[in-house]
Structure 1
């Protein structure tokens, strides 16, 4: 088969995975086993996981909050670069999916760094704030229900320290956000993107990584 007949997106993706991502055996197992599950499209790509881990390292993050854990792949990346006394608070509503996550975390030897909370994330974030968590979080990664993004954003800003970072996945939504739509998730993302763009409390950027990754730095 000639190069011109290949899907160039797949070619580039495979090349990135070969020479641009240092995935552990447990990460690869988690990713591949999740790919065969229903809702596998909810999992982030390897280059996204590595990028999040690199951001955490550059920031010297010690406390990370994740909203939307699924089978634990993104948590594997971020928790693996936390120091021994670091903590990743993982928020999800599914015992089924996170039971898989706990298996991978145990294999990777990082369960001591992860505090899993099974309840609506707005409740978990509110509890963190009530417990004196305002300004105590270095980084948040949000990859959950799109209609909830605005609430997670506002709670996240309260939790973040000055200079802290939030990352929101799926903000390009396969390009749907660029067109008129009646789909509730698409409309929610469109409103969210416009809000972040105009919010002077933060520095921001929307990157074409995966399905779109918005980075927000608290001023």
Structure 2
């Protein structure tokens, strides 16, 4: 009698390639809900030599959900590229919301600027063609800026992630969220160094070190999502 309660062995299921899974997710849940301005910007970026560094649409969908849950109104973006995540944030936050965006490369930002203007959200964006650290340090000189931001998104030079983290932990309010993109670095964080292309090794080491550091940071609640190229969500609790 007891033997009948034991389910039969489940045969091994075929492992889908990651490309097939990504295609399924995008075509089933992401592209049908992607705002038209975002789709236009994504298509315009597709022919750029560095198109692969843009925020993935499925990651963008998750970011929009987080922004809505936070009721975010004042945000920081470090690393803009052509502005997919910037436009997404601007479309998500309220009409009187503000984004302080920083990127040394104004030319790539200007690729996305016509789409930002067309979407009617340029008034929400303060873009600075500058490295982020000097701007963050200047903000921290005014105590009024501490804890004044609801959300921050970082997709920039990986060797400075911890430097950004220390500053953003002062600028983002308790209960606010800091999101770090590319924390899987193309999956190389789980590979042996000799298996990784030499071009990716330096930032692989940075990603591994940063992932370890935030995992030990008692000031945050951490969620590591394998969406896109990996996004680490740090909710400030102290």
Instruction: State how 1:60-209 maps to structure 2 within 5 Å.
Output: 60-131=71-142, 132-181=144-193, 183-209=201-227
CA distance in 2 between counterparts of 1:126 and 1:95 reads: 21
- Residue in 1 that maps onto 2:48: 37
Provide the C-alpha distance between the structure 1 equivalents of 2:191 and 2:18, rounded to a whole number of angstroms: 23
Per the alignment, in what secondary structure is the counterpart of residue 152 of structure 2?
strand
Distance in structure 2 (CA, Å) of the matches to 1:167 and 1:136: 16
With normalisation by structure 2, the TM-score equals 0.85
Task: State which structure, 1 or 2, has the greater radius of gyration over its C-alpha atoms.
Answer: 2
Work out whether 1:15 is the aligned partner of 2:24.
yes
Contact kept, 8 Å, 1:72 with 1:104, in 2: the verdict is no
Which sections of structure 2, spanning at least 5 residues, go unmatched?
1-15
The structure 1 segments of at least 4 consecutive aligned residues displaced by more than 6 Å after TM superposition are: none
1:58 and 2:72 correspond: no
2:37 match: 26
Moved more, 11-20 or 92-101: 11-20
In structure 2, what is the Cα distance between the partners aligned to 1:106 and 1:178?
Answer: 41
What CA distance in whole angstroms lies between the structure 2 residues aligned with 1:9 and 1:190? 22
The 10-residue stretch of structure 1 (9-18 or 162-171) with the greater mean CA deviation from structure 2? 9-18
Aligned length: 215
1:8 deviates by 4.4
Q: CA deviation at 1:60?
A: 0.6
5+ residue gaps, structure 1: 1-6
* RMSD between aligned residues: 1.8
**How far did residue 176 of structure 1 move?**
1.3
